[in-house]
A and B are shown apart, each in its own frame.
Chain A
């Protein structure tokens, strides 16, 4: 039975059956590493992030990188055409990916991407929202919760201010955005389960 790695952070869902599990994993890691580095660079640019202790910077990035990538790469999910574009540039239909063994996670990613895209946020709004996603004081292993909480509150205030300024007649947008945070947590948990299944396999 052929194996597939149905993650758009891979160049392609097809896995070479001649390669060992370790080689497959190495190739996959090679594929997603640049995107992870971009998340770290993004984190560094958040005002106040570099003032957090090193341990907490790493903890926030470890816990939040997947969620930041989901937000940044929402455009890979074409809701209208029901296709996913992998990092290699090829589009695959949901049906094709389903036949490859994709899980409910894929459908949930589509739902999330659709709702986020429908909010019609500007690049600046999306960037600030992404900062709020990354700086969450309730991530596990945070040492200085107060510092992270203070930064989180500052970012949320800034996001509310920006949304209110840009969308004076659409006050629900800010609430809808905050409600995306638990959605992202849920996706993150589903993704972790998928990783476990893949590694065990």
Chain B
């Protein structure tokens, strides 16, 4: 259980929440 965040589905939530911001930066 070395990556509890991934097990919780946290990574998916975090990536989606960050995404808009990251897309803005890429533009």
Contact = CB atoms under 8 A, between A and B. Distances in A.
Interface in B1-27: 1, 3-11, 13-15, 17-18, 21-22, 25
A40 B17 contact: yes
Contacts, number: 51
A12 interface: no
A145 interface: no
Given A29-B8, A50-B21, A195-B8, A62 B14 contact: yes
A65 B25 CA distance: 23
Interface string A171-201: 0000000000000000000011101100100
Given A50-B25, A195-B1, A196-B1, A40 B18 contact: yes
SS class, residues of chain A in contact with chain B: helix
A41 interface: yes
Contacts of A196: 1, 4
A195 B5 CA distance: 10
A58 B4 contact: no
B21 A192 contact: no
B12 to A, nearest CB: 10
A47 to B, nearest CB: 14
Contacts of B11: 58, 62
Contacts of B9: 29
Contacts of A192: 1, 4
Contact of B15 (A58, A65, A195): A58
Interface of A: 29, 33, 36-37, 40-41, 44, 50, 54, 57-58, 61-63, 65, 191-193, 195-196, 199
Q: List the 10 closest A-B pairs by CB distance, nearest first.
A: A62-B5, A40-B17, A196-B1, A192-B4, A61-B14, A37-B17, A36-B13, A195-B4, A44-B21, A33-B13
Interface of B: 1, 3-11, 13-15, 17-18, 21-22, 25
Given A61-B14, A199-B7, 4 more contacts: A29-B8, A58-B18, A62-B14, A63-B5
